[in-house]
Amino acid sequence: MQVDLGVFAHNEAAGIAAMVARLKAQVVPDIDLRILVLANGCTDDTVACALAAGAEVADLPEGGKSRTWNRFVHDLSRPGAGVLIFADADILLPEPDALARLITALQARPGLHVMNSRPVKDIVADPQGLGWQDRLIAMAGGTLDDWQTAICGQLYAMPATCARLRWLPAGLPVEDGFLRAMVLTDDLTAPEDLSRIGGADVWHIYESERSLAGLIRHQVRIVIGSALNMAAFGALRGMASVARRAALQQAARDQGWLRRIARSRLPRWPDGFVPLHFLVKRSRNLLGQPRRLLRPKGVLLLIAGFGFDLIVWLIAQFRMFRGTGAGHW
């Protein structure tokens, strides 16, 4: 069985050799696994380091994860590949058979379009010696999304036939959220079908933001990207359903598509540039877990989480107003 794994790498010279070595050490019996480093828009030695580590490398001059996703799926993956795996270059796979189990879990559920690995912060995987701020950050993990019904862009697998139905607009700041909506709704032509996305008994470790400022910057980018996604969804819903897939294929090649959509549809009354949903999402999720709120830690998380989300929401509104949001806004 042919499986192609695309490693998304933008200026990852410091760690790409170690990532290649970890992937090559994975145990994948009876699978023809191809590892392709997708070096996109790199200005450092990522390409040279990956080649020195023995990897196959696609040196893509233009950056951007959504553009790179399109290139991998539609141009660079092998026509005979039955499964495509998407991985960030800076994650750790603690188990030597993680990829094999991810593939097996996907094959065991034929109706699935996406199979996720469970993301675990490094400060959760190794909590020794954490300060109060790190403990709070670790405790907040998983309060925004359910990893089994979201798409975690750090590591997931798709049947190649499902992936090749999709096109992502160039310049998306949050490509996994956009892909999730397209997968669940067939490009917004049908109601959401959550059974199309699942989570495997597989996990990976990613580096958590450790400073409050870094955490705010990261979340502001996510919120702005999600707001731009929603503007794009609105534009697509305004088209005839039969025209949406062709429009997305065109948007994948048109760098200005997302910018034009954002300028024509934002701000919107009464939300402004960023929907109120992103301010209250975490609080709603926590309030839906009353047993968790019976403990002091749960109440602390609710209060601190809302305060953090309020700061992020206000900064995102301001940056969108100034035209300095994420991506190509």
Residue 327 resides in a domain:
no
Q: Is residue 233 part of a domain?
A: yes
For residue 328, being part of any structural domain is answered with no
Read off the DSSP letter of residue 76.
I
Q: Read off the amino acid at residue 92.
A: L
User: Tokens at residue 295, please?
Assistant: 């403990």
- For 81, phi then psi, to 5°, come to -70, 130
DSSP string, 282-302: HHHHHHT-HHHHTSHHHHHHH
| Token reading at 208 | 């958590």
Count of domains in the chain? Answer: 1
| pLDDT tens digit at each of 329 positions of the chain | 999 999 999 999 999 999 999 999 999 999 999 999 999 999 999 999 999 999 999 999 999 999 999 999 999 999 999 999 999 999 999 999 999 999 999 999 999 999 999 999 887 777 676 665 666 555 555 554 577 888 989 999 999 999 999 999 999 989 999 999 999 999 999 999 999 999 999 999 988 766 788 888 888 988 998 899 999 999 999 999 999 999 999 999 998 999 899 889 989 888 899 988 888 888 888 788 877 777 787 788 788 888 988 999 999 999 988 876 644 33
Report yes or no on 19 lying in a domain: yes
Strand positions, DSSP E, the chain: 2-9, 32-40, 56-60, 83-88, 114-121, 155-159, 197-206
Domain holding 24, by residue range, is 2-322
Q: What confidence score (pLDDT) does residue 32 get?
A: 97
| Whole-structure pTM value | 0.88
For residue 5, give the 3-state DSSP assignment.
strand
Residue-level pLDDT at 269:
85
Identify whether 168 is part of a domain: yes
C-alpha 162, offset from chain centre: 17
User: What is the distance between the terminal CA atoms of the chain, rounded to a whole angstrom?
Assistant: 41
Confirm whether 307 is domain-assigned.
yes
Instruction: Pull the structure tokens for residue 325.
Output: 């949001």
Asked if residue 187 belongs to a domain, the reply is yes
Say what the pLDDT of residue 126 is.
Answer: 73
Check residue 131 and give its pLDDT.
Answer: 67
Handedness of CA 202, 5, 144, 136 (dihedral sign): positive
**pLDDT for position 39:** 97
Among the listed residues 145, 83, 89, 90, the one whose alpha carbon sits nearest the alpha carbon of residue 114: 83
Q: Which residue has the tokens 């975690």?
A: 152
Q: Six-digit token pair at 63? A: 């950056």
- Residue 314: give its domain's CATH number: 3.90.550.10
Q: What is the DSSP letter of 236?
A: H
Q: What is the pLDDT of residue 139?
A: 58
Report which of 89, 80, 81, 4 is spatially closest to residue 44, judged by C-alpha positions. Answer: 89
The predicted pLDDT at position 329 comes to 35
Residue 95 lies in a domain: yes
pLDDT at 82: 97
